[in-house]
Amino acid sequence: MILGIETSCDETAAGIVDSAGRMFANVVASQADIHARYGGIVPEVASRQHIRDISPVVRAALEDARLDWSDLDAIAVTNGPGLAGSLMVGVNYAKGAAAVTGKPLIGVNHLVGHVMAAFIRQPSDSNGSTHEAGIVTDTHLPLAEALHRIGGAPAMCLIVSGGHTELVLAERNGSSLSFQLVGETRDDAAGEAFDKAARAIGLPYPGGPEIQRAAENADDEVIPLPRAWIRGTHEFSFSGLKTAVLNRARAEGIYPRSESNRTADENKVANIAKAFQDSVVDVLVTKTISAAIEFDCSAIVLVGGVAANRPLRETMQSKSPLPVVTPPIPLCTDNGAMIARAGLERYQNGARDAYDLDVIPSLRIG
């Protein structure tokens, strides 16, 4: 039984998985409402809130799993990348718990955690798991083995979150996995672009779910917004799109907000939201598939907070010639179960960290 603790950003989370990767608890205390009034995350506010929430969240996870500290085999914790002050809360809590209980301490890369979320099973699964997206993988196995079963590694992972947009090649390397960074964003992350675009059209933080919801009410045909292809590379850019949203919002008279346009024309908001979402989805899907083909991959793994986006999931599924593995929506955004699942992988490969485990805010993958 592995406990996973996550405090890298604005979710205080704890999850528990067993040796087969089955999820027995997943408790998430989101700070979104606290940061919404500022229109984005305030790091100092985030770390203070983690301090308030960490003990009750871990206790709730143990209760949900009907476990005691003594039942655990290891304590895994995100030690990067993320906000330094926020990471410190989880890492120090995990060190304290490991020291008191005598359990092994395992540091987890948050981005690897997102990838591993695609390989979490429900407690009722006995062999293999049917993902919501309709792809069957034998997730009983360590990820390296699961990838092998999908049809032989490597897999192309698109990690899209509030802070990251990365294409990473996951390859089987004996019993463990190796990751190779293939491409990333040159400026804004996809989730960051959702959050900033939402702000420009008067929708609250976090912007991703709000844009998705608004876009559902758009006209069938909307005037498209630009796509930054950066051809010949596997890199992304979303800052130009953000500016294009701002310019259109201004032209349509819905930015900046004032007394006279406080109740902006909902149809205009919906149409801009859809044009923005179409552009992001088109670029992410097209570039991920072409990278997967170029690297001779057997599968695409779609993870991170933005992977919760329905049009992105559906378009990737329908356009990809390869199987697409993606976590159920609640496991796309930050959670503790994914850290436990990644911790399990490290634990099974013999990894143990010492009490000098440090936070690495700019930790990379690959």
According to the binding rule CB under 6 A, does residue 163 interact with ligand KG4? yes
Collapsed DSSP state (helix, strand, coil) of residue 335: coil
Segment lying near ligand KG4 (by CB under 6 A), choices 83-91, 137-145, 166-174, 304-312: 304-312
Residues near 239 by Cβ (< 8 Å), separated by ≥ 6?
187, 188, 193
**Does 118 sit near ligand KG4 (CB under 6 A)?**
no
Within 10 angstroms of residue 80's Cβ, the number of other Cβ atoms is 20
Work out what residue 209 binds among Zn ion, ligand KG4, none; the CB cut-off runs from 5 to 8 Å by kind: ligand KG4
Partner interacting with residue 207 (select from Zn ion, ligand KG4, none; CB below 5-8 Å by kind): ligand KG4
Within 309-328, which residues bind ligand KG4 (CB under 6 A)? 309
Structure tokens at 307: 């992977």
Q: Which stretch binds ligand KG4 (CB under 6 A): 174-182, 215-223, 250-258, 303-311?
A: 303-311
Q: Is 81 in the site for ligand KG4 (CB under 6 A)?
A: no
Q: CB 159 → Zn ion: shortest distance, Å? A: 8
Give least dist CB 164 to ligand KG4, A: 7
How far apart (Å, rounded) are the C-alpha atoms in residues 164 and 342? 18
Residue 206 interacting entry, from ligand KG4, Zn ion, none, C-beta within 5 to 8 Å by type? ligand KG4
Q: What CA–CA distance (Å, rounded) separates 341 from 128?
A: 15
Burial of 10 (0-12, 13-18, 19+ CB in 10 A): buried
Strands in 94-227 per DSSP E: 105-109, 129-130, 136-137, 155-160, 165-173, 176-184
Is 244 one of the binding residues for ligand KG4 (CB under 6 A)?
A: no
137 binds ligand KG4 (CB under 6 A): no
- Smallest separation (angstroms) from Zn ion to the CB of 253: 35
Q: Which residues bind Zn ion (CB under 5 A)?
A: 161, 334
Rounded to a whole number of angstroms, the minimum distance from the CB of residue 321 to ligand KG4 is 24
Burial of 294 (0-12, 13-18, 19+ CB in 10 A): exposed
